[in-house]
Amino acid sequence: MMPLLSPSFLFIFIFIIFPSSHSIPFILIHGIADQCSHLGVKKITQQLINFSGVEGYCIEVGNGYWDSWFMPLLDQAKVVCEKVKKMKELKEGYNIVGLSQGNLIGRGVVEFCEGGPPVKNFISLSGPHAGTASVPLCGSGTLCIIADNLIKEGVYSDYVQAHLAPSGYLKLPNAIPAYLDKCRFLPLLNNELPDKRNSTYKERFSSLQNLVLIMFEEDNVLIPKETSWFGYYPDGAFNPILQPQQTKLYTEDWIGLRTLDEAGRVKFISASGGHIGISDADMKKYVVPYLNDQTSTEHSTSKSGSRRMMQRVNRRELFRAT
């Protein structure tokens, strides 16, 4: 008979009571006009590390600030894809935290990155997932003057598409044919082109464990802010703002958003504050739990009843927000 405290028993016991001691790291991808060495990005990365107790890395694209403006997003996604493939820390899988434009790069990695390590949870702060109808606010610096002049060339011209990152997700509802024809990033990422839909992108995106979409109530950078939830304008008009569930991307399940939602894996969060202006409390409530390993086990035992309740709450919040 095996004594109660034999090494193998102890091993099993420890394994059972500490199932989450093995936590996967996260990467953070910053937004436009930012870089990993900027104070704000450094702070949020470090806070997420401190609050979650897991390792986290801010992944830089090129030289940061300048490239965030002027390197096309398809190339930015390729840079991050190559970086994550080389990071042995991520081999067992990792989570992505995206800030603003960084969310589209992150999704590019999830959907396009050939042979990359698996992405488990995707936490999006102010992501222009369904596009944005206005260039991100930027003020009067030199870069913005260059950007402004480029846009005057016509956002869907080949030249602008090749030289201005946000032109890859500027989706003007009154220019949808030009957008679908010329925009080089978002139509691919969202599987919007009927003759180019790629089921591999959908498979990869719908294999996420959790997709956390945080929209900020006073976000005036993203037009409309509901794009943070995949909500957007209908083709051809600036109103009404469609709920995510009313868009074709969702109903026809172009990238697996509906599949994920029906499996209870999409969290539609409405937080107070401006563009990516998350409070410490909301960070702990909405982001940190997904960086700890526990969420993967929570997910597998989550009940459809609570999911339906969440969705009811979410729909109500969306109505209130629009």
Binding site for ligand NAG (CB under 6 A): 43, 46-47, 50, 112, 114, 198, 200
Residue 219 catalytic?
Answer: yes
| Nearer Cβ to ligand NAG (134/200) | 200
Rounded least distance, CB 43 to ligand NAG, Å: 5
Strands (E), 136-226: 210-216
CB-based burial, 286-317: b 16+ in 10 Å, e otherwise: bbbbbbbbebbeebeebeeeebeeebeebeeb
| Nearer Cβ to ligand NAG (234/277) | 277
* Residue 80 φ then ψ, to 5°: -65, -40
Stretch (H or E) spanning 129: none
Q: Which residues contact 286 (CB under 8 A, 6 or more apart)?
A: 123, 212, 214, 267, 269, 271, 278
| Nearer Cβ to ligand NAG (114/301) | 114
Rounded least distance, CB 93 to ligand NAG, Å: 19
Give the orientation angle of helix 73-86 with respect to helix 102-112, to 10 degrees: 60
Q: Can you tell me whether residue 29 is helix, strand or coil?
A: strand
Rounded least distance, CB 203 to ligand NAG, Å: 10
Give me the amino acid identity at 4.
L
| Nearer Cβ to ligand NAG (112/179) | 112
Rounded least distance, CB 50 to ligand NAG, Å: 4
Rounded least distance, CB 186 to ligand NAG, Å: 16
Residue 275 catalytic?
Answer: yes
Q: How crowded is residue 282: how many other Cβ atoms within 10 Å of its Cβ?
A: 18
Active-site residue (options: 126, 275, 282, 296): 275
| Nearer Cβ to ligand NAG (114/152) | 114
Q: Can you tell me whether residue 268 is helix, strand or coil?
A: strand
**Exposed, middle or buried, 147 (CB in 10 Å: 0-12/13-18/19+)?**
buried
| Nearer Cβ to ligand NAG (222/276) | 276
Summary count for the chain: helices (H), strands (E): 16, 6
Rounded least distance, CB 46 to ligand NAG, Å: 4
132: left (phi over 0), alpha (psi -120 to 50) or beta: beta
Active-site residue (options: 34, 75, 219, 261): 219
Active-site residue (options: 52, 68, 100, 126): 100
Contact 151, 172 (CB under 8 A): no
Name residue 125's beta-bridge partners: 99, 214
| Residues tagged active-site | 100, 219, 275
